[in-house]
Structure 1
Amino acid sequence: MKFLHTSDWHVGKTLKGRPRLDEHKAVLAEIVGHARAKDVDAVVISGDIYDTSAPTAEAQRLVIATLLALAKDDIEVIAIAGNHDSGSTFEAFRPLMGVAGINLYGQARAKDKGGVYSFTARSTGEPVNVAVIPFLSQRYAVRAAQLIAPGDNVPARNVGSYDQWVRNIVDHLQGGYDPDGVNLMTAHLTCTGGAFGGGERMAQSIFEYHVPAAIFPIDTHYVALGHLHRRQELPAGCPVHYSGSPLAVDFGEEENTPTVLLVEASPGAPAKVTDLPLRSARRLRTVEGTVEQLRAAAEEYGEDWLRVRVKQSTYAGLRDDIIEALPNALEIHIHSDFTNTGSGKVSSVQVAAKTPAELFAEYCAHVGSDDERVRAMFDTINDELTTGR
């Protein structure tokens, strides 16, 4: 049977105040196009469908339309909540989405209470079982493990070990596998040794949130992970893959290659994975140069979203000049070579002994500004404030 693995859509994401809904619309249309072209049996979405737990109406309309488009083509849709999503909202809409043929999971469940979703692949007639593990916070991992597999809990000395609680849940869900079928698992979590994409929520990615890839059962044909935005495979006893985000979420991800994964799996055979590139989103790009150099290269940058590092000292109006030349510049910084990187530490006594003009002149020197007009403006404003005019 064949299915697509995707995750970390982050629909509703804005980048430095710029909406990206049109980009998401194009990328999700690409994913639907791949699903139809490859005639897949299912699409597995491994969490962080939305960028926030309270997505806008526009973001929800786009996601629902995408999921319905897949379901209307008789494609099984299995989607779990990530740490950016609202698991409780997913659960509230679960019955309604189920009527439409969309399987939504906001919380971990026992294997016989929806924790393993089973269906028959329409292309091959093979039985398929998908164990689902939505994002688990440190606190909820303990609660979920106690509710799902109370008899499997480890001794009290291990209470608080996120790793162990997740292992308990994985071991329990494995009991829902069929030795004659295709057995899959999808989870939203951080695996030890995984490479960060650059735009993850770090507080829910590090320290106690790590689990080793070795926890996944060897008889799993494929593990579909979400949370890390970089496409990667982790060494384990079974195929363990992050699909990565379908578009660069932030500038830390500008070197990532957005993909959706085509997975072909059969009972008794290792899964075959093919990367399908996604090209609809605008590129994120860091560029450097003087104002004149950047202006001269403006046509080369096209519609890319830009992070600009200016390689000259600042001056009054520099930002306006950059924006005029590069309307898609979202971040503008003075390159570190043109700023004073010293400690800048001064005592309160030193500050008190200097006039506002002297302090401002020192600040300008610290940030690399050498513009007489800026200092003249400061002098005018300071004069107005101190004389009451």
Structure 2
Amino acid sequence: MRVLHTADFHAGRTLRGVDRTPEIHAALTEIADLARTERADAVLVSGDLFDSVNPSADAEAAIFQFFLALRDAGIPSIVIAGNHDSANRLASLSGLLGWVGVQMVAQVGTNPQALVRTITARDGTTLTVGALPYLSERRLIRSADLLGQDVGAWRQRYREGINFFLRQLERGFRGDTVNMLMMHATLDGSTPSGSERSFLFDLTNAYTISPLQLPASAQYVALGHVHKAQQPGEAPPAYYPGSVIQLDFGEAGERKQVNLVEVEPGRPARVHALPLSAGRELRTVRATLDTLDRKLESVQGFGGLVKVIIEAPGGTAMPGLKDRVLRATPNAIAVDLERVGEGTGAAPSAREGVSMTELFTRYYEARKGAVPPALLDAFREADAAAQPGEDEAVSA
């Protein structure tokens, strides 16, 4: 049996005001073509189809055309909801998607066995997938902090809950079928991308799952959530295929891929990485005022998107600097000034001594560009209401 594993499409993503959906659409077209040419019996999608719970029409079109392409190739799929997806929205579409061969598992209901799905391959082999969609832990984190309780105990309680579902899913595995587990979660030992959102990685993924919790009877664990392709678990083999394009400048230089898994009942899986070519490359240029012109020359002819970071002495006025960069490098979509000598030269992902307002500003700028003043004021007001007093620094 041949199973193609992919994840983290993030259709609808914008980067500094640039809509990446056309690139994601191209990547999904490439993946559907690979599924056909590699004679995949099934496709597994481990969550985060969309970048937000309220995706654009273009984002929805990209996703639905992907599933239609699989239908036209006669390839069924099993899909789970990720943390960026609206589980309710995907659940409401599950009936329609079923008509084109998509088994959508968006929510955990009262019957855990409903999370176990099967697909029959062309040769008659049955694929059994224990499909566990994203289970939010953010409310647990906030509750533990507000109540002054032991966060470590809550972490253990979360793992015990995950164990319950994993054991229930394992009950659906049989000796005469290919058995796989699919999850959208953070596995201990996984390495996040150097994403501009990496400072949020700790905030939103404080609860992790140990590889020791994974059922040994799973022949392959299809993971989603981490954007860097990797194998964080060996027994059973657990893989993140990563995001399908370089989504932000922290992922610059990463090779994007999908995994092709060849497996038979009772036999070890053989995993092959299939590289993807769609999507513009991202590159960061770091320069001082003295080296700026030379560094910009180095990206002349580069067809991707560029972020320029300029190190400048604190207090130096920089009128017209951004326009100067954009004239020299039209494909630069971000020009950031990093003041040195003021204690502000820390890496963008550092959280030491950084206020919640600054974290929000970085997050918003990474997705859409400059924060509207009214929105920033509203965030400050909401933060003050949640934590009376001045902004508190977020410690690492």
Same fold, TM-score > 0.5, yes or no: yes
Deviation track 1:53-87 (CA, whole Å, cap 9, x = no partner) reads 11011100110010111022111111110000000
State the one-letter code of the partner of 1:61.
A
Structure-1 residue corresponding to 2:74: 74
Equivalent pair of 1:71/1:101 in contact (CA under 8 Å): yes
Distance in 2 separating the partners of 1:140 and 1:271: 37
Which structure 1 segments of 5+ residues have no match? 142-156, 344-389
Structure-2 residue corresponding to 1:326: 329
Deviation track 1:94-122 (CA, whole Å, cap 9, x = no partner) reads 11111221111111246675311112111
Equivalent pair of 1:110/1:173 in contact (CA under 8 Å): no
Equivalent pair of 1:214/1:236 in contact (CA under 8 Å): no
Calculate percent identity across the aligned residue pairs. 33
State the one-letter code of the partner of 2:292.
V
Structure-2 residue corresponding to 1:98: 98
Structure-1 residue corresponding to 2:157: 161
State the one-letter code of the partner of 1:56.
S
Distance in 1 separating the partners of 2:88 and 2:202: 21
Shift of 1:217: 1.0
2:171 aligned residue (167, 172, 175): 175
Equivalent pair of 1:112/1:176 in contact (CA under 8 Å): no
> For the structure 1 residues 205 and 296, does the alpha-carbon distance in structure 2 shift closer, same or farther, using more than 3 Å as the test?
same
Structure-2 residue corresponding to 1:253: 251
| SS in structure 1 at match of 2:269 | strand
Distance in 2 separating the partners of 1:32 and 1:63: 11
Structure-2 residue corresponding to 1:296: 297
Shift of 1:203: 5.8
> For the structure 1 residues 298 and 254, does the alpha-carbon distance in structure 2 shift closer, same or farther, using more than 3 Å as the test?
closer
- 1:65 paired to 2:65: yes
Equivalent pair of 2:113/2:172 in contact (CA under 8 Å): no
Deviation track 1:11-31 (CA, whole Å, cap 9, x = no partner) reads 100001111122112111110
- 1:188 paired to 2:184: yes
Structure-1 residue corresponding to 2:374: none
| SS in structure 2 at match of 1:235 | strand
State the one-letter code of the partner of 2:201.
M
Equivalent pair of 1:68/1:102 in contact (CA under 8 Å): no
Shift of 1:303: 1.9
Structure-2 residue corresponding to 1:212: 210
Equivalent pair of 2:188/2:232 in contact (CA under 8 Å): no
Structure-1 residue corresponding to 2:341: 340
Shift of 1:272: 0.5
Distance in 2 separating the partners of 1:275 and 1:113: 31
Structure-1 residue corresponding to 2:36: 36
Q: What does 1:343-382 align with in structure 2 at a 5 Å threshold?
A: none
If you compute each CA radius of gyration, which structure gives the higher value, 1 or 2?
Answer: 1
- Aligned residue pair count: 323
> For the structure 1 residues 335 and 139, does the alpha-carbon distance in structure 2 shift closer, same or farther, using more than 3 Å as the test?
closer
Shift of 1:36: 0.9
- 1:239 paired to 2:242: no
Equivalent pair of 1:8/1:47 in contact (CA under 8 Å): yes
Equivalent pair of 1:126/1:182 in contact (CA under 8 Å): yes
Distance in 1 separating the partners of 2:247 and 2:112: 36
> For the structure 1 residues 110 and 238, does the alpha-carbon distance in structure 2 shift closer, same or farther, using more than 3 Å as the test?
farther
Distance in 2 separating the partners of 1:50 and 1:203: 21
Equivalent pair of 1:46/1:188 in contact (CA under 8 Å): yes
State the one-letter code of the partner of 1:18.
V
- 1:21 paired to 2:21: yes
Which structure 2 segments of 5+ residues have no match? 141-152, 345-396
State the one-letter code of the partner of 1:65.
Q
Distance in 1 separating the partners of 2:79 and 2:343: 50
Structure-1 residue corresponding to 2:45: 45
Shift of 1:291: 3.4
Structure-1 residue corresponding to 2:136: 137
> For the structure 1 residues 71 and 158, does the alpha-carbon distance in structure 2 shift closer, same or farther, using more than 3 Å as the test?
same
Distance in 2 separating the partners of 1:44 and 1:110: 23
Distance in 2 separating the partners of 1:309 and 1:204: 25
| SS in structure 1 at match of 2:263 | strand
> For the structure 1 residues 44 and 260, does the alpha-carbon distance in structure 2 shift closer, same or farther, using more than 3 Å as the test?
same
| SS in structure 1 at match of 2:128 | strand
State the one-letter code of the partner of 2:36.
R
Higher relative contact order (CA 8 A, sep 6+): 2
- 1:310 paired to 2:310: yes
Structure-2 residue corresponding to 1:281: 279
> For the structure 1 residues 311 and 62, does the alpha-carbon distance in structure 2 shift closer, same or farther, using more than 3 Å as the test?
same
Distance in 2 separating the partners of 1:140 and 1:164: 16
Distance in 2 separating the partners of 1:90 and 1:99: 14
> For the structure 1 residues 129 and 204, does the alpha-carbon distance in structure 2 shift closer, same or farther, using more than 3 Å as the test?
farther
Distance in 1 separating the partners of 2:294 and 2:138: 52
Shift of 1:256: 2.1
Structure-2 residue corresponding to 1:114: 114
| SS in structure 2 at match of 1:269 | coil
Structure 1 stretch displaced more, 291-300 or 46-55: 291-300
Distance in 2 separating the partners of 1:322 and 1:91: 46
> For the structure 1 residues 193 and 342, does the alpha-carbon distance in structure 2 shift closer, same or farther, using more than 3 Å as the test?
closer
State the one-letter code of the partner of 1:127.
T
Equivalent pair of 1:308/1:333 in contact (CA under 8 Å): yes
